[in-house]
Structure 1
Amino acid sequence: MTTETAARETIARETTARLMIGTDLAAAMVERAAARAKVLQETTGVQPCLATVLVGDDPASATYVRMKQNRSKKAGIGSRSIVLPAETTTEELVAELTKLSEDPEVHGILLQHPVPAQIDERAAFEAIAPGKDVDGVTMHSFAAMAFGEPGFRSCTPGGILRLLEAYDVPLAGAHTVVIGRSPILGKPAGMLLLASNATVTYTHSRTKDLAELVRQADIVVAAVGKPNFVRGSWLKPGAVVVDAGYNEGNVGDVHFEEAAQVASLVTPVPGGVGPMTIALLLEQTVDAAEAQTAARR
């Protein structure tokens, strides 16, 4: 346990909030995925394979990709790393993703985002075959989440739902305020919560009277990308607070110390949502490998 995590646990013990920690739950998910990967390889000779694509040399993105590759290895999932220069064009990136989509030895594809400014990120995402979209970033995956059809979930929103379920947070009828409108985080989080019978209000950094809206929420999902943006004074006493933000210095989008004085449950940063994101990515890679192997039989 890091000094920072220990300090935050001490804060939580001294206040009303209980921590929603994703570490152990994520580890159990990865362990189950590893067992399934082992069975698949022993029975069919197929090892699940996740291809990661990184454009440019952003240190944070490179570190995150390495972490995913290391977790893949521990789960018995093969990895293929593609690193493209920062000056890569949309057409070049689309061609690389199309090639991976057509490669039968690759079961899941992860395009690390954000990509350089000259690239049309949506066009790049859409080059990923739906059956290999284990990060849940394509329009096909979003539609599946919105309509409740089979498909891959966006990994962070999907991880959030699993975390809420694990902590027995009642979703049916709960008023949930999602702060953020990213197509791979805020928007799909709202869709998944709506599918769980929550009442969802979408907000963002430019929403008028945002604090008043947040104060009405039973559940708050912060995904706005601004450090310490959500203050404790914004929260209804006893609210459940999910901090999906990650900013420089291990700081989330929620002012943790203030939120811990008001909330009933709150996720720490790090150690809350983050581990769930990677665990779901690996789980869905095994799902994809099983489905593709069965389809070829």
Structure 2
Amino acid sequence: MELKDLIRPETLPVDGYALAAAREPGLAIRARQLTAARGNQPPTIAAILFVEDAGSVLYTRLKREAATRLGIGYQVFEFPISTPVAEVQAKILELNQNPEITGVMIQKPYRGQRDPGEYQIWWHNLISTIDPAKDVDGLTPTTLNLVKANRWQQAGVVLPATCRAVLILLKHYTRIFDLTPERRAELKVAVIGRSELLGLPLAAELKNQKCDVILLGKKDLNQLIEQKIFLKNFDLVITATGQVAFLKGEWLKPESLVVDVGEPRGDVEWKSAGQVASLITPVPGGVGPLTVSSLMENSLDLLEPR
């Protein structure tokens, strides 16, 4: 099978907005059923928002609008980014204990909003406070470890929303997951970016699905570039670095599939990559809308036995 034959032509062009909208009626039905089963108490997400970050404010608005359309509660708790960690943790612990709140998340702010040397520790301290049973965005260390161990479904937790969005997109627009595990293992997959929001859990879940995956950090990718190997050995490339248009067409294997999760303007240089790849997801309008939809789906999954 040629790589281009992995694409479902009847589904093209890639349109994350349309796919997310098509999934909403089914999610709304599930939300109504869960609300009725819980004595007219809807599934409710509580989101921590650091107000100085414009991107976080925008994403929070989009998520609240989606929740409203589906009949899911969405409560936002605002903090200045300078708020002491203990104060934010106290609110998270309160939300963990609140039976009306069924999912808790933190809208992760841009790194530049805090001192770079302390950002990762600050974030780890906050995200680790969320009860994994309410980890609606799938970002706690406990959830990540369960994904790596291929036990997340058994444990009743959910995949990170962006990770889930990529998998939904691949299942809809390609036949990769229709292949036998043996055939799927022949595909070479590169995941660029080692973040806990996407790279680490997505690489782990693709391995769980029997894909042959390599996770590339900045040093790994630079080494491939220096060796003139680039990304020519990979059938599927998933990139999430935030470096605008850094991924050139001459780096890619002919007819490869490319999922661009860069934000806000995309990692892929379309002019050159479009001449080589058989599929490239757009930014905006690709993974982004499905991430919002996946968060809503996660909020329902947390309440239903699997």
TM-score normalised by length of structure 2: 0.84
| CA apart distance, 1:234 | 0.6
Matched, 1:47 2:47: no
Report the 3-state secondary structure (helix = DSSP H, G, I; strand = E; otherwise coil) of the residue aligned with 2:303: helix
Matched, 1:202 2:208: no
Q: 2:21 aligns with which of 13, 24, 27?
A: 27
**Structure 2 contact 45–72 (Cα < 8 Å) conserved:** yes
Distance 1:194 1:212 in 2: 23
Residue type of the partner of 1:146?
K
Q: 2:165 aligns with which of 123, 140, 159?
A: 159
Q: In structure 1, what is the equivalent of residue 132 of structure 2?
A: 130
Report the 3-state secondary structure (helix = DSSP H, G, I; strand = E; otherwise coil) of the residue aligned with 2:200: helix
Q: In structure 2, what is the equivalent of residue 260 of structure 1?
A: 274
Residue type of the partner of 1:157?
C
Larger relative contact order (Cα-Cα within 8 Å, sequence gap ≥ 6):
1
Q: How many residues are paired up? A: 272
Residue type of the partner of 2:128?
E
Report the 3-state secondary structure (helix = DSSP H, G, I; strand = E; otherwise coil) of the residue aligned with 2:292: helix
Matched, 1:237 2:251: no
TM-score normalised by length of structure 1: 0.87
Structure 1 spans left out of the alignment, 5+ residues? 1-17
**Structure 1 contact 177–213 (Cα < 8 Å) conserved:** no
Distance 2:75 2:108 in 1: 17
Q: In structure 2, what is the equivalent of residue 144 of structure 1?
A: 146
Q: Deviations over 1:94-138 (max 9, x none)?
A: 111111111110011120112642661011001111111110101
Distance 2:189 2:37 in 1: 44
**RMSD over equivalenced CA pairs, Å:** 1.8
Pair 1:230–1:169, CA change in 2 (3 A): farther
Matched, 1:38 2:32: yes
Q: In structure 2, what is the equivalent of residue 81 of structure 1?
A: 76
Residue type of the partner of 2:80?
P
Structure 2 spans left out of the alignment, 5+ residues? 1-11, 178-183
Q: In structure 1, what is the equivalent of residue 192 of structure 2?
A: 179
Distance 2:33 2:142 in 1: 29
**Structure 1 contact 55–88 (Cα < 8 Å) conserved:** no
Of all paired residues, the percent bearing the same amino acid is 33
